[in-house]
Amino acid sequence: MKSIVKVYVLLMLTALLVACEDKADSGWIDGDYESSDNQVESESESIPTDGDNSEESTETEEETSTDDGDVEESTGEAEQEISDGDEEISDSDGDTEMEAEAVEIDVESSESEAGEEEAELSRCATVQCAENRFCNEEDGKCYCLPGFHDAVDHCVRVEAGGFEDLDVGDNTYLNGSDLAGGFTSGIVHLVNNYNSTYNSWDGFAISSMIDKTTPGSVNSYSAIAGAGSHTTKTYAIGYASAFAATPPTITFSDSQARKFAGAWITNTTYTYLSMRDGDSFAKKFGGESGSDPDWFMLSITGKDMDGQVTGNVEFYLADFRFAPSRSGDDARDYLVDQWTWVDLRSLGNVSKLEFALSSSDVGEWGMNTPSYFALDELTLDAGVAHFEDMALLPDSFNNGSNGAGEFVSGNARLFNTYDSTYQYWEGFAISNKTDTATAGYTNPYSAISGTGMSFTPTYAVAYVGFSGPSKIEMNGDARTLAGLWITNTTYAYLSMRDGDSIAKKFGGESGSDQDWFMLTITGKNAANETTSQLEFYLADFRPENAEEDYIISDWTWVPLESLGFVKALEFTLSSSDNGEFGMNTPAYFALDDLFEVQP
């Protein structure tokens, strides 16, 4: 657009120059008028005035010639006038030239602003996600928040304790002064130790305080976020007193062991402002120079029914240990000021969680940094299997070549058959391959999505071969499953989209062939009896409206509750494209994040 406007303006200016010269020939412009407008000397000489000699008139006629060279020369002069912006033919012509310049500048400016706006516009800028979902900047799509699983049309919380069920007023707190010894929310119990002699407490308190600005110990019950996670009202405050007999502790109210998915954590206002600014006890993190390698860390330890440690998770509430960037600043240093998801799945099945705080700022009497943190929406892991617990090198796979015959992830066993003679496998493999472009049987381990569900790296790939259905069995008792995530492999997807040497292009050349590719999932109880069966189309070209034809390319939630109480799942594939030796469509699919229904 800019180039078109510029050419148009230049042509107009050329025409104006010619018109002015023609009028000069008839004596319209006099010498005094020319000089007052401060025109370019070379041009003023070419415009005839009263008393100009015939030689000058001849020069004018030569300059106003319509031959290509003269047009180019005039255009060049016009371009020079636009760039200089301080030379005019006359008052009226000068105004025209200035207007032309303004048009060009405005076009350039508006195009520049549009480019900047387009660059700044994120994929999620116009995306409206439903409740309990977030927009991912990589693809502009909405996914369930951590602590939720997708139930097709809504995200279901799998929460152990969210604290909204506790009777707390607005902008206030419960610090255990009732001597109840703690707070029970959902199925978790937060231990509180209150000393009525000194009106002091440690362990956990419950709060709805919203003060984000007041520094000091007088404001020890506020989260720096100003509310609970996801703008809920109520949250927990943990205080790890140096004089306490036990650390802040969370147990299950029914004394059972379970697996946590994670919790939302942030700093309290008291601690955050102390680290940011320093106070009478604690230093300003980074020091005056900003280069001190300070840190503040929350450590969460899981313990089983026997009191044995199951694992430990460390989360930095502040970290100033980063080396300066090339520009010399410490831009990566941070103090947590928003609710942040902390994954606790690595702790396994636990009967309790214990919390401890440590800091780089330590004095004669222990840690100087205020030993508080805020916690919300402690969430159970509803996943039976998620495959992130499988050890793989980057961009690789495990197809069972070790002869183990199975893969165990979480509470599920995925069966595998491997023939070392032919290096052939079927059943399940585990993969973190990311190839979404390579067609053919050399790329059987990649999901067409390029990653696991929610951009996790690891997932399962099934090949339904000659030995029968691919099978997953639950460890322990039978259970009701909520669902799982399914998509196509790159091999199967590209084969259906484009066709290959064995399989047809779905829809055919006309696009009207009613092709389909279907996954059948069968539930089996502890006696290996079928409980129920469901079907999921990985591709479907049967709709009358061709615009409704599809091949699955994203992770898609498949609900499994209709299968009932199951001990195992069996997977088979079928297709409209069959030949002499069976199904032509590559018999592969990808699977991730198997969830069970929580009691």
Give the residue-averaged pLDDT of 398-407.
96
The pLDDT tens digits of the residues spanning 139-183 come to: 787 777 655 655 555 565 666 778 999 989 999 999 999 999 999
- Residue 561 pairs in a beta bridge with none
- Residue 424 pairs in a beta bridge with 419
Give the residue, 447 or 93, on which the prediction is more confident.
447
Q: Which of 337, 593, 369 is nearest to 482 (CA)?
A: 593
CA dist 512 → 71, 154, 492, 508, 545 (Å) = 59, 34, 20, 7, 9
**What pLDDT was estimated at residue 18?**
45
pLDDT at 28 over 60: no
For residue 246, what is the enclosing H or E element? none
**What pLDDT was estimated at residue 575?**
98
pTM, two decimal places: 0.55
Residue 494, C-beta contacts closer than 8 angstroms, at least 6 positions apart: 439, 440, 448, 500
User: Which domains are delineated in the chain?
Assistant: 2-119 (no CATH), 159-381 (2.60.120.1350), 397-596 (2.60.120.1350)
How many Cβ atoms sit within 10 Å of the Cβ of residue 254? 9
Percent helix / strand / coil, the chain, rounded to 5: 20, 35, 45
pLDDT at 358 over 90: yes
**What pLDDT was estimated at residue 474?**
94
At position 487, the amino acid (one-letter code) is T
Contact 476, 259 (CB under 8 A): no
d(CA 174, CA 154): 33
The pLDDT tens digits of the residues spanning 94-128 come to: 444 444 444 444 444 444 444 444 444 567 888 88
- The token duo for 77 is 């002069």
d(CA 432, CA 153): 28
The pLDDT tens digits of the residues spanning 32-66 come to: 333 333 333 333 333 333 334 334 434 444 444 44
pLDDT at 307 over 90: yes
The pLDDT tens digits of the residues spanning 455-509 come to: 889 999 999 999 999 999 999 889 999 899 999 999 999 999 999 999 999 999 9
Using pLDDT thresholds of 50, 70 and 90, give the confidence band for residue 370: very high
Give the residue, 78 or 567, on which the prediction is more confident.
567
**What pLDDT was estimated at residue 198?**
94
**What pLDDT was estimated at residue 107?**
42
The pLDDT tens digits of the residues spanning 557-595 come to: 899 999 999 999 999 999 999 999 999 999 999 999 898
pLDDT at 231 over 70: yes
The pLDDT tens digits of the residues spanning 533-557 come to: 999 999 999 999 989 999 999 999 8
